[in-house]
Amino acid sequence: MTGSDTMGGGMYGSDRDGVRAAFADGAVSFWEALDALVGGAEIVVDRPRGSHHPDFPEFVYELDYGYLKGTTSADSEGIDVWIGSDPRRQVTGALCTVDLVKHDAELKILVGCTAGDCAVIRRFYRTPLSAVRILRRKKP
């Protein structure tokens, strides 16, 4: 994937009404909610593997990184997504970051990320004034 490549919606396509209907009968778990977000949106890869961070060129993306089109995160942009090496493209985790320089915290979704991919992502965020926590989804 290069540039602003996209990956189509998953199990719910891009039909938001279908997502609402799927969960109309009651509460939804954290992981089901992330599945619905990813499945109901298009993943846009705006920072492909091997590209440099636009503001900090010393940081190289070793995995594809992008966002969910049509969603909104705390920074008023699309929800960020890391795309790992597992071709199944399922939600495999979530990443929580705290940046003391920008004075913000964010949630990023991990899609198809193996344990090795998570180690790469953790290294990417290892800076003196930031903290990161990865929540790994248990296998069913």
Write the pLDDT tens digit of every residue in 90-128: 999 999 999 999 899 999 999 999 999 999 999 999 888
User: Which class is domain 5-136?
Assistant: alpha beta
Q: Are 40 and 16 in contact (CB under 8 A)?
A: yes
Amino acid, res. 40: G
Domain residue extents for the chain? 5-136
Whole-model pTM: value is 0.81
Task: Choose between 128 and 23: higher pLDDT.
Answer: 128
Q: Are 80 and 109 in contact (CB under 8 A)?
A: yes
Distance in angstroms (rounded) separating the CA atoms of residues 29 and 31: 5
Q: Are 76 and 40 in contact (CB under 8 A)?
A: no
Cβ neighbours of residue 60 closer than 8 Å, sequence gap 6 or more: 50, 51, 52, 53
